[in-house]
Amino acid sequence: MKKMGLYNFLWLCRGRTPVRPANNNMHPSILRDAQGRAPYSHTNLVIPKRIILMAIMLFLVFLVACSVEKAPELEFKLDEMDEAQEREEREETEEEIIIITEGPQWITATQAKEIISNQETIIIDVRTPAEFNSGHIKGAISMPLDEITTIAPTLIKDQTILVYCRSGNRSFFASWILFDMGYNMVYDFGGIISWYGEISIP
């Protein structure tokens, strides 16, 4: 059996039958087709479609194998990222809780009534003087929000302070201002609109 060279193999893949060159000057190992074209010429060397398809299929199989191999590692990294994100969210939540517990306390109007009936308190109305004169909680003193930093220093710092306004917005800011000024026993019970106790009208 004759040994088949690379060029002979390429011609067989192309489905052509190689022939010996008619020109004696050419090397006998170089085969040409019936038209005299050499197999290594860039003008006639065409890769068969089946070889291209096989190469594409092998490349796809390689990609699938790589993705399957790296899937557990990728899943593990995603789990680590999720755990880190949950840990950060938990730490942020804990910090927020600490900040809230160190500030003024928010209570309901019912809880405020219980505190007033059981201990000495200072009730502060942070609405405008006109709103205060239209009706206020019995025993409250007028301390408008824009004047709170001037009037507040006259208060006793270790006393319980209850703050309210009309709906709860101004009392929120007022209670924080008082807390920052050193009043630690500050309770914000929202607005007078949620109060069901006695109302005084001058």
Tell me the pLDDT tens digit for each residue of 12-48.
555 555 444 445 455 544 555 555 555 544 444 455 6
Q: Pick the catalytic residue: 116, 137, 162, 165?
A: 165
Contact (Cβ atoms closer than 8 angstroms) between residue 41 and residue 14: no
Look at residue 86 in the predicted model and tell me its pLDDT: 73
Q: Of 127, 116, 129, which is closest to residue 161 (Cα–Cα)?
A: 116
- What residue ranges define each of the domains in the chain, with the CATH number in brackets? 105-200 (3.40.250.10)
Q: Is 165 a catalytic residue?
A: yes
pLDDT tens figures, 88-97: 776 665 555 4
pLDDT of residue 199: 86
Q: Residue 90 has which token pair?
A: 């938990």
pLDDT tens digits, residue range 154-186?
Answer: 888 888 999 999 999 999 999 999 999 999 899
